[in-house]
Amino acid sequence: MLSVICPIYNEEKYIRACIESILTQDYPKDNIEVIFADGMSSDGTREIVAEYSSKYPWIHLIDNPDRIVPPALNKAIEASTGDIIIRLDAHAEYPEDYFSKLVRDLKEYEADNIGGVCLTLPINNTAKAKAIAHVLSSKFGMGNSDFRTGISKPKETDTVPFGCWRREVFDKIGYFDNDLIRNQDDEFNGRLRKHGGKIILLPDVKIKYYARDTIRKVWRMFYQYGLFKPLVNSKLKVPATVRQFFPPTLVIGLIFGLIISLAWHPFIWAYLIGIGLYLMLDIFFSFQKKASISEQLYRAIIYPCVHIAYGIGYITGSWRIITRKSFNAKVNR
């Protein structure tokens, strides 16, 4: 029995395509249950899911009044009955052999969590949307985040998108941490690895993931990723990755470099050289691949937007850890 869980909230633009990709799966439908945990959506999301659940009794809708992802996942896991649990995201579409490959390879690799590579796609055909998708799948934008940038062969890794687990994993290490509006996957996978778990990323399992459609949404998303990362580190008692430190280092360098330059004028040349090197990399990676001029210019804006947003969020989160301030925040998806 396979339980498929998916947290949703105001996903009217995406949910129908997501469900249609579930319906085309080659996994036996008699052995599937799909549970959507909805954060009390105010658009047409609930009605769309209800439409499908009336046709397919193995599709279920449950309420998540907390409106954030970890409680949605935990409620769905508690409501599920499957031996294996797969998490989905409503912003994505999945190949028809997605479920069967994950279930098969989970056993073949003796993994504790397994997942595929995200093909980040623009939500529409505008230059801005295409630039956002490009940045979120590039090495300059995302570093060595393999599930975003792609790999050539299966490898053991620190995290995968969404995830596929045996039920006993949750019995062993617990559920998702309700404190983490963002980065709950990072904390869960870090906890899994601390318990000796093995996480495998598969190159031949490709998920179509639709990126955010505005720079403001991208900024907010990466600010929140950065904000909650120090809390993840605090809970795990160790940083999960090295790549997380580059954006806050950039932001600290910009701030303190300016302060030092104002206090000691000769330093301004080193400061300007540092900024110049970053801008050269930004321009190189923005104009490296063929695209319209407007798309390339958007890339040049979005790269520093992603890095600086994450860096500011990380510094803010670190300060909250040091001063023991609350991480409670307005939920922005």
pLDDT digits (tens, 9 = 90+) for 214-268: 999 999 999 999 999 999 999 999 887 788 899 999 999 999 999 999 999 999 9
Question: Which pLDDT score is estimated for 255?
Answer: 96
Half-sphere exposure of 11 (CA within 13 A, CB side): 24
| Predicted confidence (pLDDT) at residue 330 exceeds the cutoff of 80 | no
Q: How far apart are CA 227 and CA 319, in angstroms?
A: 10
* CB burial string 24-39: b at 16+ within 10 A, e below: ebebeeeebbbbbbbb
Grade residue 328 by pLDDT with cuts at 50, 70 and 90.
Answer: low
Lowest-confidence pick of 153-162, 203-212, 236-245: 236-245
Give, in order, the Cα–Cα distances in Å from 210 to each of 23, 121, 215, 265, 301. Answer: 19, 5, 14, 46, 20
| Predicted confidence (pLDDT) at residue 57 exceeds the cutoff of 50 | yes
Q: Strand 84-87 to strand 2-8: parallel, antiparallel, or no bridges (unpaired)?
A: parallel
Question: Model-level pTM?
Answer: 0.88
| Predicted confidence (pLDDT) at residue 332 exceeds the cutoff of 90 | no
